[in-house]
Amino acid sequence: MIAATKPRTLAEKLWESHVVHQADDEPDLLYVDLHLTHEATSPQAFDGLRLAGRTVRRADLTLALEDHNVPTDTHRLDDPVSRKQLETLRANCERYGVELYRVGHDRQGIVHVVGPQLGLVQPGMTVVCGDSHTSTHGALGALAFGVGTSDVEHVLATQCLAIDRPRTMAVEFTGRLPAGVGAKDLALALIGEIGTNGGEGHLVEYRGEVVRALSMEARMTLCNMTIEAGARAGMIAPDDTTFAYLAGRPHAPSGERWERAVAHWRGLRTDEGAVFDRAVTVDVSDLTPLVTWGTNPSQVVPLGGTVPDPEEIADPAARQAARRALEYMELSPGTRLRDVPLDVVFLGSCTNGRIEDLRAAAGVLRGRSVASTTRLLVVPGSAQVRRQAEDEGLHEVFLRAGAEWRLPGCSMCLGMNADRLRGGERCASTSNRNYEGRQGARARTHLVSPEVAAASAVAGRLAAPSDLG
Amino acid sequence: MEPFILHVGRAVALRRDNVDTDQIVPGEFCKRVTKTGYDDALFARWRKEPGFVLDRPEHRGASILLAGRDFGIGSSREHAVWALRDGGFAVVVASGFGDIFRRNATNNGLLLVDLPAPEVQSLMELAEKDPDLAVTVDLRQCRITAAGRDWPFAIEPRARRRLLAGEDPIAATLRHADRITAYERARADWLPVLGGHPRAGE
Ligand code: SF4
């Protein structure tokens, strides 16, 4: 077979179409079609640019957003340290001519929610952002990964990234997805199976009928969590679901360009006979809603289960980690997850802060109230999601149930702003990381889906919608 | 960037697996706009625990961090690398590293040595028994030596070359400016563009 017709994976096609330069003893130089940036990881990059006397090569392929640090109860920036970081971003964008959606702008929100929503992320593109959950954008059939600040500077200066080619990995979900189980559970099931570094050095492609049947936003949830399995990126081949999602969005092509784009996008899938470096299959037929019990996303069990006993874990390192996790989480082996009481429930983040997530949660909360011992924060992923939810009257469902209806931002996902758990509070969260202290000092986090989050808020303890009377 | 050729220092064992970058630098420290001054941020939460290993007097000044499996997973924050550097560390030895952390480390001249768990274990035991033990990490030879023993390690050749040369990767990319321009000319016409345009920065 000649090289040109060798069957290729989607990841290989995306990679090869962006190589600007390749040499034996150098990493590949990859072109970046869209660079998203935000206040938390960019100040030092712009500073480096300035110190080296360089400039932004393609301000027109760069978009800045204010998300990590912004307050969600007011548009006023009262905290001086946060304000300084936001003002630094504003000054940098002004100086280098980068478009910025500030707090209060009708397009403001979390980078990974805003990009797809505006049609800025399209199949076949490369997307880079100084944020690990950039993997989200792979849902549209893009090659998208997170980088650190030095690489942000590199992309600002050159619109390229010098990077070694990762290996490829196929993840296929088989069987039929039971009702009440969704993308968040798929992601947690995979991480539970392969571990927090099970995807290290790989570009993951999600495949199979289960994935095909997911909505665009559910695909984003799945790709978002890929980083929690340690992989560089997650992606899904574009199909009619993708094209229907994109059509008519502000930055999507139109008319004759749309026709040509779709014709091209249809070719962006793994060829018959293409070989992945690794393949994993997860049967989802018996999947039930999952919840994490520990301090990393692989420490996960069915909501109907109990806290595992570390002494029953064979691997000594995993046993030790489980012991420490239980100590931190203040949980004892054998406790039923459904008996775990909650102080706070957080509905939001780039994992589950989209309109479908809010609809799912509102569906559970309609006509019900949040438990008196529990606080529910609903933080839409973007200003557009917030508007849409209000148009649909979802905010009234939340407010009537006794929840707080917040302004968009990362909020309690990472506890950079004032939305933080305090004094060892316990939280069911739709975000992506349950690390020690992620949501505040001594904070205890249980990762769950939006439906489980909503039911848990009503029950005041971990619960599924079917548990509510 | 300073070239990394050889480092001699004392090692300290952090016996934890899955140390993520939120642990290395909690989120609230990422509000800063500087690249230095993160020594107070390094493992800030754990430092509040009495007897945290890095705070024990016998380990003060250690510059080689020995950790468990999968160090530096999670958030892309480069602050984690800056904080390790500001905390006086030149080398981290562990069994596996987070992908983004690995890139960030190389970009800042912090050497990551990936060794199988039993070998890290043996180094940990030595460092715990004798905190003053001199440990040598030689990037030309790709080996760690201490107490008359040695631990050869493998490292991605391009990362090694970059560390040895201390080269600026942006300058290296800019040497291909003509190729970048040629690539840009051939990009599809439907790809999105934003309103950004060059201003004073030009
Ligand atoms: S919502 Fe959380 S995970 Fe997503 S970008 Fe913000 S801080 Fe990161």
| Domain layout of chain A by residue ranges | 10-163, 299-464
Residue A3 is predicted with a pLDDT of: 54
Q: How far apart are CA A464 and CA B9, in angstroms?
A: 53
Contact B188/A at CB under 8 A: yes
Q: pLDDT tens digits, residue range A115-136?
A: 999 999 999 999 999 999 999 9
Q: How far is B85 from chain A (nearest CA, A)?
A: 15
Residue A323 is predicted with a pLDDT of: 96
Q: Indicate whether A459 pLDDT > 80.
A: yes
Q: pLDDT tens digits, residue range A220-230?
A: 999 999 999 99
Interchain pair B179, A146: CB under 8 A: no
Interchain pair A26, B174: CB under 8 A: no
> Please, which pLDDT band fits residue A1 given cuts at 50, 70 and 90?
very low
Q: pLDDT tens digits, residue range A235-253?
A: 999 999 999 999 999 999 9
> Please, which pLDDT band fits residue B131 given cuts at 50, 70 and 90?
very high
Instruction: Find the B74 Cα to ligand 1 centroid distance in Å.
Output: 11
What mean pLDDT comes out for the span A255-284?
98
Residue pair B121/B69 in contact (Cβ under 8 Å)? The answer is no
Q: Quick check: CB of A413 below 6 Å from ligand 1?
A: yes
Contact B96/A at CB under 8 A: yes
Numbered ranges of CATH 3.20.19.10 in chain B = 6-167
What mean pLDDT comes out for the span A385-409?
98
Interchain pair B107, A150: CB under 8 A: yes
Q: Indicate whether B92 pLDDT > 90.
A: yes
Pairing between strand B143-146 and B135-138?
A: antiparallel
Percent of chain A scoring above 90 in pLDDT: 94
- Best residue among A67, A69, A110 to mutate for probing ligand 1's pocket (most ligand atoms within 8 Å of CB) is A110
Tell me the pLDDT of chain A averaged across its residues.
96
What mean pLDDT comes out for the span A197-207?
95
Q: Quick check: CB of A356 below 6 Å from ligand 1?
A: no
Determine the residue of chain A that is closest to B177 in CA distance. A158
User: For residue A11, which amino acid is it?
Assistant: A
Q: Quick check: CB of A432 below 6 Å from ligand 1?
A: yes
* Chain A 283-302, residues with CB within 8 Å of chain B CB atoms: 296
Tell me the pLDDT of chain B averaged across its residues.
94
Is A64 strand, coil or helix? strand
> Please, which pLDDT band fits residue A334 given cuts at 50, 70 and 90?
very high
Interchain pair A260, B190: CB under 8 A: yes
Which ligand 1 atom lies nearest to the CA of residue A111?
A: 5
Q: Quick check: CB of A110 below 6 Å from ligand 1?
A: yes
What mean pLDDT comes out for the span A337-345?
98
Burial letters A288-318, b for 16+ CB under 10 A, else e: ebbbbbbbbbbbbbbbeebbbebeeeeeebb
pTM: 0.95
Q: Quick check: CB of A227 below 6 Å from ligand 1?
A: no
Q: How far is B197 from chain A (nearest CA, A)?
A: 5
What mean pLDDT comes out for the span B66-77?
94
Q: How far is A293 from chain B (nearest CA, A)?
A: 16
Residue A379 is predicted with a pLDDT of: 98
User: For residue A52, which amino acid is it?
Assistant: A
Residue pair A122/A395 in contact (Cβ under 8 Å)? The answer is no
Residue pair A155/A31 in contact (Cβ under 8 Å)? The answer is no
Instruction: Find the B6 Cα to ligand 1 centroid distance in Å.
Output: 38
What mean pLDDT comes out for the span B99-124?
96
Q: How far is A102 from chain B (nearest CA, A)?
A: 15
Residue pair A177/A210 in contact (Cβ under 8 Å)? The answer is yes
Residue A363 is predicted with a pLDDT of: 98
> Please, which pLDDT band fits residue B178 given cuts at 50, 70 and 90?
very high
Q: What is the dihedral of CA B157, B158, B164, B167, to 10 degrees?
A: 180
Q: Which of A263, A246, A269, A175 lies closest to A213, judged by CA?
A: A175
The DSSP letter of residue A343 is S
What mean pLDDT comes out for the span B37-57?
93
ipTM exceeds 0.85: yes
All residues of chain A having their beta carbon less than 8 Å from the beta carbon of residue B98 are 197, 200, 230
Q: How far apart are CA A331 and CA B27, in angstroms?
A: 25
Helix crossing, A355-365 with A383-391: angle to 10°? 40
Q: Indicate whether A182 pLDDT > 90.
A: yes
Residue A4 is predicted with a pLDDT of: 59
> Please, which pLDDT band fits residue B197 given cuts at 50, 70 and 90?
confident
Which of the pair, A423 or A235, is modelled with greater confidence? A235
What mean pLDDT comes out for the span A186-201?
95
User: For residue B12, which amino acid is it?
Assistant: V
All residues of chain A having their beta carbon less than 8 Å from the beta carbon of residue B184 are 31, 159
CATH code: domain B6-167 is: 3.20.19.10
Q: Which fold has domain A299-464?
A: Aconitase; domain 3 (3.30.499)
Residue B105 is predicted with a pLDDT of: 96
Which of the pair, A249 or A4, is modelled with greater confidence? A249
All residues of chain A having their beta carbon less than 8 Å from the beta carbon of residue B96 are 197, 200
Rg (CA), chain B: 20
Q: How far apart are CA B59 and CA B124, in angstroms?
A: 12
Instruction: Find the A295 Cα to ligand 1 centroid distance in Å.
Output: 17
Q: Indicate whether B130 pLDDT > 50.
A: yes
Q: Which fold has domain A10-163?
A: Aconitase; domain 3 (3.30.499)
Segment holding A457, helix H or strand E:
helix A450-459
Percent of chain A scoring above 70 in pLDDT: 99
